[in-house]
């Protein structure tokens, strides 16, 4: 079986050259699956794994738009509709210069398992563009979003593909995208995009959901060892949406959050991060965290990563492969108890191994950051029923989902003789749910 997995992996590498992030994501899942395939030969017979490694549809398109100086700009748009065995494709759009097909495929592949773990009826997909919204005016962002949706709309639908936001795509961008979709289709289909504004079909808690869910998962992990957030020193990477609400929830649970970051460096604030000030600097003024440090009287460390700050709980909430082996070693030396991923695949494979060897509680993103897409599915429910739930009820639903994912990961890890491994548990629990659905639907 190990040889067969190796042959399938080799095939994936050959068919998808130069897509390092996608290769990494596939390899990480494959490492958990040998006992599953041995126990369930029907997955092998039906070539489920080979089919899972090939997206159902990959869409690449040109996005022309005009900047404020009247110059025509060209970007590339992507939507990878990865797997719909459990429901319509569901996953965010990322606007960032680093976006290319390999990143979108890695994100879509991860999304398939993440969405399966939520228990909600949603498949997996991902999309985006190499457009960089930083430094662009609101008018430029609007014109780009309108051009992007002018092509993408034909592939979307509440029963087909439902995008949301991701890096570079927040409430402003979702608004421009939905406005263009409505304009082109002449239909007010609230359920075709999630992460919408509260006054036009959005859900309470959706803004907070990914960050909150990451912390709720960590809370449940810590509880398995009789520990909690109260009085714990916490560091968070990033300072965008996920990081901000991870900070908020950790503070609500009694954690002392002392550091956050952006692409220029990190802030160390021993008083504890002042979240309203951080949000004003980052979301309203759209300035770097160094500005927060200046106004707060905190320390800004340029060009370095936040993991060198000692902490008991670490929450990577920025981007892929941001926490490497050296960073993990620094966290272990500082006495870290738990690492819960708010970003997608932020920890390198060697760093994951080091954390696990040190008996650190480690939650992979496909489990720990599933709160965002879970609440998107709750938003879809509200849209379908023309209903709106309270913040308290929606947060209660989110907490229940995150706790259930944690419990399912642990139970699955135990079943496959890997007690305490959230990596094994998440990979196998997500895979078997999707694989069983694929078997039921036949060779499609």
Residue 369 three-state SS = coil
Tokens of 393: 């009820």
d(CA 234, CA 80): 35
Residues 6+ apart with CB under 8 A from 387: 381
433 is annotated as contributing to ligand binding: no
Tokens of 441: 């639907």
126 classed as catalytic: yes
Q: How far is CA 284 from CA 42, 123, 240, 245, 273, in A?
A: 53, 34, 12, 16, 17
Alpha helices (H) in 167-315, listed in sequence order: 171-185, 209-223, 241-252, 275-279, 289-296
d(CA 88, CA 335): 42
d(CA 396, CA 372): 14
111 is annotated as contributing to ligand binding: yes
Catalytic residue, chosen from 2, 39, 105, 126, is 126
Q: In which element (H, E) is residue 45 found?
A: helix 41-45
DSSP state of 308: G
With CA atoms as reference, report the closest residue to 335 among 365, 364, 307, 313: 313
Q: Beta strand 57-66 with 72-83: parallel, antiparallel or unpaired?
A: antiparallel
Tokens of 403: 């706790």
CB 275 within 8 Å of CB 297: no
Give, rounded to a whole angstrom, the gap between the first and last alpha carbons of the chain.
24
150 is annotated as contributing to ligand binding: no
241 is annotated as contributing to ligand binding: yes
d(CA 133, CA 145): 10
What is 172-214 written as a DSSP string? HHHHHHHHHHHHHH----GGGSSS--GGGT--TTTTTHHHHHH
Residues belonging to the chain: 444
114 is annotated as contributing to ligand binding: yes
**Cβ neighbour number for residue 172 with a 10 Å cutoff:** 16
CB 118 within 8 Å of CB 374: yes
Quote the Cα angle for 338-339-345, to 5°: 160
d(CA 444, CA 109): 18
CB 293 within 8 Å of CB 299: yes
Which residues are designated catalytic? Answer: 126
Q: Can you say which residues are annotated as belonging to the binding site for NAD(+)?
A: 210, 241
Annotation: binding site for substrate: 90, 111, 114, 165, 376
């Amino acid at each position: 079986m190990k040889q067969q997995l190796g042959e399938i992996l080799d095939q994936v590498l050959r068919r998808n050259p130069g897509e390092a992030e996608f290769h990494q994501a596939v390899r990480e899942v494959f490492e958990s699956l040998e006992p599953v395939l041995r126990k369930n030969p029907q997955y092998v017979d039906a070539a489920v794994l080979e089919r899972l490694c090939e997206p159902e549809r990959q869409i690449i398109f040109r996005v022309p738009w005009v900047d404020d100086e009247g110059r025509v700009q060209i970007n590339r748009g992507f939507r990878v509709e990865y797997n719909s065995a459990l429901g319509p494709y569901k996953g965010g759009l990322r606007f960032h210069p680093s976006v290319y097909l390999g990143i979108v495929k890695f994100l879509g592949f991860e999304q398939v398992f993440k969405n399966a773990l939520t228990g909600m009826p949603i498949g997996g997909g991902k999309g985006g563009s190499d457009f960089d919204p930083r430094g662009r005016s609101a008018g430029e962002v609007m014109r780009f979003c309108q051009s992007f949706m002018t092509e993408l709309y034909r592939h979307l639908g509440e029963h087909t593909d439902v995008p949301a936001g991701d890096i570079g795509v927040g409430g402003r961008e979702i608004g421009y995208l939905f406005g263009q979709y409505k304009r082109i289709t002449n239909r007010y289909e609230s359920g075709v995009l999630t992460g919408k504004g509260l006054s036009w079909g959005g859900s309470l808690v959706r803004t907070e959901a990914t960050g909150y869910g990451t912390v709720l998962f960590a809370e449940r992990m810590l509880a398995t060892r009789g520990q909690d957030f109260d009085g714990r020193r916490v560091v968070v990477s990033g300072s965008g949406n996920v990081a901000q609400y991870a900070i908020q929830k950790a503070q609500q649970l009694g954690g002392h959050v002392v550091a956050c970051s952006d692409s220029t460096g990190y802030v160390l604030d021993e008083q504890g991060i002042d979240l309203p000030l951080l949000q004003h600097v980052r979301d309203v003024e759209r300035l770097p965290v160094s500005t927060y440090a200046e106004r707060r009287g905190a320390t800004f460390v340029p060009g370095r990563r936040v993991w060198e700050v000692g902490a008991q709980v670490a929450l990577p909430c920025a981007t892929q492969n941001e926490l490497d082996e050296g960073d993990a070693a620094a966290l272990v030396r500082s006495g870290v108890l738990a690492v819960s991923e708010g970003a997608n695949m932020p920890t390198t494979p060697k760093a994951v191994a080091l954390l696990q060897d040190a008996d650190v509680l480690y939650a992979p993103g496909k489990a720990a950051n599933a709160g965002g897409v879970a609440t998107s599915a709750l938003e879809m429910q509200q849209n379908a029923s023309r209903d709106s739930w309270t913040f308290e009820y929606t947060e209660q639903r989110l907490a229940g989902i995150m706790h259930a994912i944690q419990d399912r990961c642990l139970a699955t890890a135990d079943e496959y003789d890997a007690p305490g491994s959230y990596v094994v548990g998440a990979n196998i629990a997500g895979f078997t749910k999707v694989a069983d659905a694929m078997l039921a639907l036949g060779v499609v």
